Structure 1
């Protein structure tokens, strides 16, 4: 199999996991915001798993292809779900929960893909596309969960940190969001040079090991 054939095959394997990982990540933010009092995302029709409502041409299509090709770790983002933090019942505290909902959804999805992989194995299904997609789903969601927890605004981890800081420090930290384009460029460069990607790879592997441990009882039961 040529390198191009391998890339095409892997793009096909990762397409569905990436679309659902990104879409449900954003929908989770919206559901959490609605729970805490902000119906903005619901009113704009963003509380859905339909990828077409969340796709960003660069973040959902171009960036995952680039990061997979150069870093062998597919990563992307969708159109952010609109959240009006001023409408939350306790804005500073609850913005942290709204932010954490995204990575939490990716952890749950990674676990769901792992359960699916165990079930396929238990049913003796060896179709490479199905088993490969299950593995891809675990990897994609683990990468998204870990990356989004980097404690720098505008990433979810940055907003969680903002929610935990004292008021004055929180305001100063939140102001970093005005530098969002530069922050993303810096993160991509750090991943490309290996400074950040090695740390992320270690954390992703740790998360995948944790998920493997969680599905071990089911694996032992079926196999």
Structure 2
């Protein structure tokens, strides 16, 4: 989660927003990003969250474009981490590393990172996907959606609790792993 949140802060900083830097959130230190309630929920309910990195789009020259890229940054960081883990995994296999711990750890990092990245792209508030989608809406519709975010939060919680999203998300995770694995294997064959 630290990589995801740091990526949001870093891209926002690149667009001119010093907020995350001023609050010490441009770090990979996981303790800077822990939301203790989110961590407890993760431990007890298998669903949690990190402390969101503060961003202020008023610093951006173009707030909508800045928010799109800032929102995309977290999931992109997750996908990059997953690809690196898969790439190293196949490098270990090619080198004959037989440590099941290392291979299992790399596989878990890849699965969790891809799952987290895909999940965050769902266009449901407060996820990154909603920020990306809403930035494409005209201002009046944007305000209407963001004002109704409490209702959307309830819908979001019900979707998670019902398990409706599990099948489609697992299919997307599996397909992404297959694509990343194919690319990594092709690179190692060079």
TM range (shorter): over 0.9
| Superimposed CA distance per residue, residues 132-161 of structure 1 (whole angstroms, 9 cap, x where no aligned partner) | 000001100010011000011110000000
C-alpha distance in structure 1 between counterparts of 2:13 and 2:152, whole Å: 25
Query: Of 34, 45, 53, which aligns to 1:66?
Result: 45
The TM-score, its normalising length taken from structure 2, stands at: 0.92
Deviations 1:81-130 (A, max 9, x none): 01112222211221111101010100100001011101211221111111
Q: Tell me the residue number matched to 1:207.
A: 176
Structure 1 residue 64 displacement after superposition: 5.4
Alignment correspondent of 1:35 = 14
CA-CA distance at 1:56 after TM superposition: 1.6
Structure 1 residue aligned with 2:57: 85
Equivalent residue runs for 1:142-153 within 5 Å: 142-153=114-125
Match of 2:106 among 134, 139, 148: 134
Alignment counterpart, residue 198 of structure 1, candidates 146, 153, 167: 167
Give the conservation status (yes or no) of the 8 Å contact 1:110–1:142: yes
**How far apart are the structure 2 equivalents of 1:39 and 1:183?**
33
Quote the Cα distance in structure 2 between the aligned partners of 1:104 and 1:210. 15
What secondary structure sits across from 1:104 in the alignment? helix
Tell me the matched-pair count: 190
| Structure 2 segments unaligned to the other structure (5+ residues) | none
Does structure 1 retain, via aligned residues, the 8 Å contact 2:9–2:20? yes
Q: Once the 2 structures are TM-superposed, how far is the Cα of residue 218 of structure 1 from its aligned partner?
A: 2.6
TM-score, with length taken from structure 1: 0.79
The 4+ residue runs of structure 1 with deviation greater than 4 A are none
Query: Structure 2: how far apart are the matches of 1:60 and 1:141?
Result: 17
CA distance in 1, matches of 2:151, 2:16: 28
Distance (whole Å) between structure 1 residues aligned to residue 64 and residue 43 of structure 2: 32
| 1:54 equivalent in alignment to 2:33 | yes
Aligned with 1:174 (options 146, 149, 161): 146
2-side partners of 1:65 and 1:110: how far apart?
A: 25
Runs of at least 5 residues in structure 1 that lack an aligned partner in the other structure? 1-21, 68-74
